[in-house]
A and B are shown apart, each in its own frame.
Chain A
Amino acid sequence: AQSVSQHNHHVILSEAASLELGCNYSYGGTVNLFWYVQYPGQHLQLLLKYFSGDPLVKGIKGFEAEFIKSKFSFNLRKPSVQWSDTAEYFCAVCGATNKLIFGTGTLLAVQP
C-alpha cells in the first residue's frame, strides 16, 4: 500500500533561515509526487509537483524539491524563508490511480 511520511510535525524558523522539510514515500511502482501548502484560513494549493525528468523541481514562491528515487524521498527546500511562508505543508503521492495519498503535514512557523 502507498504511504507518505513527513517526519517534521512542527518547525519553527527565523526569517532568512533555510528550510528543508522531509518527505518519504512507500510505493513499489512509478509515482508522481506533490507538495501542497495551506496558508492560515486558505485552501490547499499546489506548490510543486514531480512526475518525470529533472529530479530537482522548482515551484512557486522560491520553493524547490528534489526527488531521490534511491531514498524514496521528495524533500522540500527553500534557501531563505519569509514570515509569509508560515503555513502547513503537505507532501502527497499519486500512484497507479489518481487519488492523492497525503502525509500528516508539517506546520511551519516563521518568526519575524
Chain B
Amino acid sequence: EPEVTQTPSHQVTQMGQEVILRCVPISNHLYFYWYRQILGQKVEFLVSFYNNEISEKSEIFDDQFSVERPDGSNFTLKIRSTKLEDSAMYFCASSGRGTTTDTQYFGPGTRLTVL
C-alpha cells in the first residue's frame, strides 16, 4: 500500500538555524498538508498546498515558514530561523482530491528539537 514518507525522522538544530523537513506524498495525490504536534498538545494544521500554491494556512504559519514542491515527488517545509517553540513533531499528509470528505494520509512525522 502506498505511504507518505518523511525525512529525517529526527532533526536537532540550534535556535536561529534554518531547517528543511522533507516529505514524499503518495504519488498520484495532488493535495499536500503540514501539521504539527507540540508535546502534550493537539495536532495542529499548518498549511495546505495544491497546484504549486498555498491553499490555506493557519496563524502559526508565519513568514518564518515556507513550503515548496521542488520536483515531482518531494514536498518540503522550511523554517528559516528556528525558535525554541518550534520544537514539535511535524506531520506531512496528502490526499487525492482535497475535498472535505477526502481521507488525508499521514507520514510518520519528523521530530524537530530546537536547542
Question: Which residues of A are at the interface with B, using a C-beta cutoff of 8 A?
Answer: 32, 34, 36, 42-46, 49, 51, 90, 92, 94-105
Checking B42, B48, B58, B107 against A102 with a beta-carbon cut-off of 8 angstroms, the contacting residue is B42
Decide: A94 and B45 in contact? CB cutoff 8 A: no
A51 with B101, Cβ < 8 A, contacts A98-B48, A98-B95 known: yes
Most buried by B among A43, A51, A94, A104: A43
**Chain B contact residues (Cβ within 8 angstroms of A): what range?**
20 to 34
User: How far is B35's CA from A94's CA once the two chains are assembled, in angstroms?
Assistant: 14
Q: Which residues of B contact A104 (CB under 8 A)?
A: 41-42
Q: Taking chain A's interface residues, is the majority helix, strand, or loop, or is none over half, making it mixed?
A: loop
Inter-chain contacts of B76 with A (CB < 8 A): none
Smallest CB separation, A98 vs chain B (Å): 5
Closest B residue by C-beta to A95: B100
Cα separation A98 to B45 with both chains bound (whole Å)? 10
Closest B residue to A4 by CB, please name it.
Answer: B42
Complex Cα distance, B58 from A51, in Å, reads 24
Expressed in whole angstroms, the Cα–Cα distance for A44 and B104 within the complex equals 10
Closest beta carbon of chain A to B90's beta carbon, Å: 12
Assuming A102-B42, A104-B41, A105-B42, is B108 touching A42 (CB within 8 A)? Answer: yes
Q: Across the two chains, which residue of chain B brings its CB closest to A46?
A: B103
- Please determine whether B48 and A99 come into contact, CB atoms closer than 8 angstroms: yes
Q: How far is the CA of A99 from the CA of B100 in the complex (A)?
A: 8
How many angstroms between the C-alpha atoms of A49 and B105 in the bound complex?
A: 13
Partner of A100, one of B4, B41, B99, B104: B104
The reply to whether the CB of B75 lies closer than 8 angstroms to some CB of chain A is no
Q: Complex: how many Å from CA A95 to CA B105?
A: 18
A51 to B101, CA, bound (A): 6
